[in-house]
Amino acid sequence: MEKKLRGKKFRVVFQPSGVRGEIEEGKTLLEASQELGVDVESICGGKQLCGKCKVRVEKGRFAKLNIRSAFSHVSDWESSEERFIDGGGRTKGYRLACAAKLRGDVLAFVPEESRAGKQVIRKEAGEIEIQCNPAVKLYRVDVSEPSLDDPLGDFDRLAQEIGKRHDLRDLAIDYLVLRDLSGILRQGEWQITAAVWDDREIIQVQPGSIEKCWGLAVDVGTTTVAAYLCSLESGEVQAVESMMNPQVAFGEDVMSRITYAAAHPDSGLHEMSSVIIEGLNSLISQATETAGISQEQILDMTFVGNTVMHHLLLGLDPQYVGSAPFTPTVQKSMDIKARDLGIEINKSAYVHILPIEAGFVGADNVGVLICGEPYRKDDIQLIIDIGTNGELVLGSKDRLVVASCATGPALEGAQITYGMRAAPGAIERIRIDPKTFEVTYKVIGTEAWSQTSGSGEIKTKGICGSGILDLLGELYRTGIVMKSGAFNRELKIPRLRMDGDGTPEFVVAWMDETSIGKDVVVTQRDIRQIQLAKAAIYAGAKLMMRHLGIDRVDSVLIAGAFGSYVDKEEALIIGMLPDISPGRIVSMGNAAGDGARMALLDREKRKEANWIARRVEYLELTIQEEFQDEFIAALHIPHGRDAFPHLKGIVPDFILNQ
């Protein structure tokens, strides 16, 4: 490994991803971005020739990011930059990342056009069957004109007409709509289209005949935010937009965000709440641009997210969710005026916040439930939603139990030496030849596998979640890693080597296959991280099965971004799931987001959500006596005690019988 004399280090934070680290003095921001795995486009390779790597160096101090003072903490402006950045850009702090060298702490913003490849957001809108029965409906109404014999007020006249035709009684009207009502009725010559929310409130009146309106389903994950803009008539998805959750700058996981709020009692909650609202507003702006509509035409919105995301969006202090007994401020669903939240859709529209189940099991899991509907099934299903936090649901129409387990971010590629998010350049699939121990892999951005691809293809720079899971499965199946998770030091192969401290590491990709000028390896510590994550899931599922008094499940559904890409066999091999035929493991896609869409398009699903959120039994795993014991046994691959008959034929006997 390349070693340098250790120079002075400075703190560097890249926005909007929030990725941060300590980087040596004198390195360029482009080098820093590469070291930290932040995507900054560079065609010329840092020679100040292509101008693709523009970043904005932010001014000022950023106490919350531990940035002592940014701006002018990079090297002086170079004449080569003038070709690419004009005076206005320079004033704003734009620099070429390959020209600006570190002289102090830096907060740098990577604009969209400088990102090497947009993150592959695995929160696409899946094909789901949805009953189109939205909470907001349009009614075309011919209102009779008032006269001296019939001088009834404008609103009263409108409400009477809608009431008569559509059997809606006691209609209210949003105050802001009322203000323009008289003018619009006359502008439309008494022919208007009214949007009615939940059969009870008029939230928009437009002159003439309007046939279209839109709704937005939003899934705020700890790491990724996805928004689905849907037609409320056809249910069709018109735009899908996603982004990193900008709260990442305040902490990678829910606990660190709770901690941030607690450590900054005056401003922390407000800061995190503001950035997500701003973030949603920019997604809304993108989505409406994509669909060619205005923000005022979005008349409804649904929200799912885990309990902490839920609280931070609503500006609710998350501290009580963070410690026993993990009580949220509110569990039931809420309807809040978008304007009260600062969300820039139609100013009279409501945002429907789906309910929370319990503690950390939030509205995102409710989304998964109303999407998968295990409560209608005869079969016993285990649903695993793996995000930065993991949620498990087990049961059938008779009984459902839910639990939360702290998987940590390893399965999302974080806290792994060469782990990275699912973005171009990330290894997403791995196979190891059990005889030659040679590795082939597939990189996001290419179609073919490494061994068959030409040299012009995208080079790798790290491993994402599904790749990491594959890797452990393959390392175990080929005997490179033993049941305990330790590397098999007996094995003498080039890819298994000792690092400087004498602990083993495995080379996944050699330096010449990578774009970072280094071998991509997996360390013993990395393996431990994955073991912790999978053991948490397995132990959780086991305790839940015991709680229900069952010893097998009929099917396993994997939800979440991860679920769509995970190799089911490998998940079984590493012992993340209870023993089951691989054929009975199903991917659900982004079920939380799909649930949000269903609640957007079918108001009955909102009722169902409240009903099921109250009906599921919550099992607090951490207070179960057996948890620790089960967790430790589950650290083994696939398990320290339990048998996995379904692995026969998938994993060689001699490996299974270690």
Regarding 234 and contact with a copy of itself (CB under 8 A), the answer is no
Nearest by Cα to 136 from 283, 298, 353, 354: 298
Which residue's CB is nearer to a copy of itself, number 358 or number 596?
Answer: 358
Choose, by CB under 8 A, the member of 173, 272, 426, 616 that binds a copy of itself: 173
Choose, by CB under 8 A, the member of 182, 187, 191, 451 that binds a copy of itself: 182
Which residue's CB is nearer to a copy of itself, number 312 or number 532?
Answer: 312
Choose, by CB under 8 A, the member of 618, 640, 642, 650 that binds a copy of itself: 618
Beta-carbon count within 10 A of 598 CB: 26
Which regions of 63-135 does DSSP assign to beta strands (E)?
A: 67-70, 94-96, 106-109
Which residue's CB is nearer to a copy of itself, number 86 or number 156?
Answer: 156
**Near a copy of itself in 343-372, by CB under 8 A:** 356, 358-359
Choose, by CB under 8 A, the member of 1, 5, 63, 623 that binds a copy of itself: 623
DSSP percent split of the chain into helix, strand, coil, nearest 5? 35, 25, 40
Contact 468, 530 (CB under 8 A): yes
Token pair in block for residue 136: 């907001």
Regarding 317 and contact with a copy of itself (CB under 8 A), the answer is yes
Please tell me the distance from the alpha carbon of residue 471 to that of residue 70, in angstroms, as a whole number.
40
Which residue's CB is nearer to a copy of itself, number 184 or number 633?
Answer: 184
Residue 403, phi then psi, degrees to nearest 5:
-150, 160
Q: How far is the CB of 453 from a copy of itself (least distance, A)?
A: 52
Which residue's CB is nearer to a copy of itself, number 337 or number 546?
Answer: 337
Choose, by CB under 8 A, the member of 320, 406, 458, 518 that binds a copy of itself: 320
Regarding 324 and contact with a copy of itself (CB under 8 A), the answer is yes
Binding-residue total with a copy of itself (CB under 8 A): 46
Regarding 176 and contact with a copy of itself (CB under 8 A), the answer is yes
Regarding 401 and contact with a copy of itself (CB under 8 A), the answer is no
Please tell me the distance from the alpha carbon of residue 414 to that of residue 235, in angstroms, as a whole number.
36
Piece of the chain touching a copy of itself by CB under 8 A; list 120-128, 130-138, 333-341, 383-391: 333-341
Binding mask of the shown chain, residues 262 to 301, with x at each position contacting a copy of itself by CB under 8 A: ----------------------------------------
- Would you state the torsion angle of the CA atoms of residues 265, 267, 269, 273, taken in this order, to the nearest 10 degrees? 180
Please tell me the distance from the alpha carbon of residue 53 to that of residue 585, in angstroms, as a whole number.
43
Which residue's CB is nearer to a copy of itself, number 147 or number 452?
Answer: 147
Alpha helices per DSSP H over 292-341: 307-314, 338-341
Q: How far is the CB of 319 from a copy of itself (least distance, A)?
A: 8
Regarding 169 and contact with a copy of itself (CB under 8 A), the answer is no
Q: Is 111 helix (H, G, I), strand (E, B) or coil?
A: coil
Alpha helices per DSSP H over 217-361: 254-263, 268-291, 307-314, 338-341
Q: How far is the CB of 200 from a copy of itself (least distance, A)?
A: 12
Regarding 433 and contact with a copy of itself (CB under 8 A), the answer is no
Contact 606, 215 (CB under 8 A): no
Q: How far is the CB of 313 from a copy of itself (least distance, A)?
A: 12
Choose, by CB under 8 A, the member of 51, 328, 504, 575 that binds a copy of itself: 328
Nearest by Cα to 107 from 10, 201, 39: 10
Question: What is the β-pairing status of strands 504-509 and 520-523?
Answer: antiparallel
Choose, by CB under 8 A, the member of 49, 168, 178, 458 that binds a copy of itself: 178
Cβ-based burial of 228 (10 A; exposed 0-12, middle 13-18, buried ≥19): buried
Piece of the chain touching a copy of itself by CB under 8 A; list 48-56, 155-163, 295-303, 444-452: 155-163
Alpha helices per DSSP H over 292-390: 307-314, 338-341, 363-372
Question: Which amino acid is present at 517?
Answer: G
Question: Interface with a copy of itself by CB under 8 A: which residues?
Answer: 146-148, 150-156, 159, 173, 175-176, 178-179, 181-183, 186, 314-317, 319-320, 324-332, 334, 336-337, 340-341, 356, 358-359, 618, 620, 623
